[in-house]
Amino acid sequence: MKAAVFYGEKDVRIEDVDDPSPGPGDVLLSPLYCGICGTDVDAWKTGMYTPGVILGHEFSARVVECGPGVDGWSPGDNVVVNSIIPCGTCSFCVQGRYSLCDNVKMPGITVNGGLAELVSIPADSLLRMPNSVTAREAALTEPLAVVLHGFNLIKGDWGLGNKALVTGAGTLGLLALQVAHAAGASLVAVSEPNSSRRDTAVALGADMVIDPEVSNVWVEFGEKAGHLPDLVVECSGSALAATETFSLAKKGGVVLVLGISEEPVEADFMAAVLNELTFHFSYCGYSEFSAALAMIERKIVRVGDLITEIPLDDTVEKGFQRLADSHSDVVKLLVKIS
């Protein structure tokens, strides 16, 4: 079969590899669409994944074969695959904090993933794809689950009618914009230097967009909203943007960090202490997959506007190059596999 194999810094190859077979409790899948995310791009830039792993942790698929002991699934079923395989027994799993599992396996990162014509996955990692959700749409269940996990962490810290600022209009930012509105925000602004992504933010319901390279976000938001944000959602993964969140949130405000910065972030503890800011750092999403898929099914969150599609061939390497370009108009790059 063909697969996108990671070998290190700026080295992803489409190769012919042996077909996997499902073991006990596993299901053999034929991936349909698989996303390339910002973390994948960071790994491509820095070489931080395990060499030899098949990439892909955001994907929809079709069941091909069920391994021994698998019930409830049949060949031809369309599914979404959870991006986390928790051990279920460590102290974090017992607490329901699966993102922090001590023995976690992650398709496409620590074990083979969905950027391939076939992949074997534990059956309990699958969710059934609703008939009204396309395979393209379903491939964005994982990033939406990541956003929902973060919002679940801050449930008690902000409420209906609050005003929010999202920094970064990549996939996470454009999903966070919609989730913030769905959660009851009265105003959601998006800060993003890329003009194409700002346009997409407007199309998806942003009440205002700000170009941080030409405008003062602090001033622009305050003039429009009447005060600084109750909630700042950092989705850019930029160290500079993360540093600026300390001055952007209002007194007593909340900062939710979803973007992962590979560079050290300068923390303004003086501002955080004097303004009694609350910071929440969120990683992955596991329990939120069902809710994410339901939001896509009910059209509460629109994902189609984010998608650019490419085939599984040499274009994948070019896809990484496009996503690494800050001026690119691509938001979510989906690889069509079968």
pLDDT at residue number 314: 74
| 251 and 174, same domain (yes or no) | yes
- The answer to whether residue 290 is domain-embedded is no
Cβ–Cβ < 8 Å for 277, 253: yes
Query: Are 199 and 149 within one domain?
Result: yes
Tell me whether residue 289 is in a domain: no
Encode pLDDT of 40-68 as tens digits: 998 888 888 889 999 999 999 999 999 99
CATH number at residue 199: 3.40.50.720
User: Which CATH number covers residue 32?
Assistant: 3.90.180.10
**Residues 123 and 155 placed together within one structural domain of the fold:** no
Judgement on whether residues 40 and 132 belong to the same structural domain of the protein: yes
How do 58-66 and 26-36 pair as beta strands? antiparallel
> In terms of domains, do 116 and 198 share one?
no
The stretch 311-322 carries a mean pLDDT of 85
Q: Please report whether residue 297 resides in a domain.
A: no
Q: Is residue 187 part of a domain?
A: yes
Cβ partners under 8 Å of residue 314, min gap 6: 14
Same domain, 158 and 245: yes
Burial-class residue 261 by CB neighbours within 10 Å (0-12, 13-18, 19+). Answer: middle
pLDDT at 307: 96
- What's the domain count of the chain? 2
User: pLDDT by residue (tens digit) across 85-123?
Assistant: 999 999 999 999 999 999 999 999 999 999 999 999 999
One domain for residues 330 and 217: no
Q: Considering the entire predicted model, what is its pTM?
A: 0.96
* 202-244 per-position pLDDT tens digit: 999 999 999 999 999 999 999 999 999 999 999 999 999 999 9
Is residue 7 located within the same domain as residue 42? yes
Residue 169 lies in a domain: yes
Amino acid (1-letter code) at residue 331: V
Residue 213 and residue 268 in one domain: yes
Confidence of residue 261 (pLDDT cuts 50, 70, 90): confident
Q: How far apart are CA 329 and CA 331, in angstroms?
A: 6
Tell me, yes or no, whether 136 and 34 share the same domain. yes
How far, CA to CA in Å, does 295 sit from each of 140, 143, 195?
11, 12, 27
Structural domain for 38, as ranges: 2-140+303-336
My answer on whether 86 and 136 are in the same domain is: yes
pLDDT in tens, 145-169: 999 999 999 998 888 899 999 999 9
- Do 214 and 113 have their domain in common? no
User: Binning pLDDT at 50, 70 and 90, where does residue 248 land?
Assistant: very high
Would 288 be classed as within a structural domain? no
The chain-wide mean pLDDT, for the chain, equals: 95
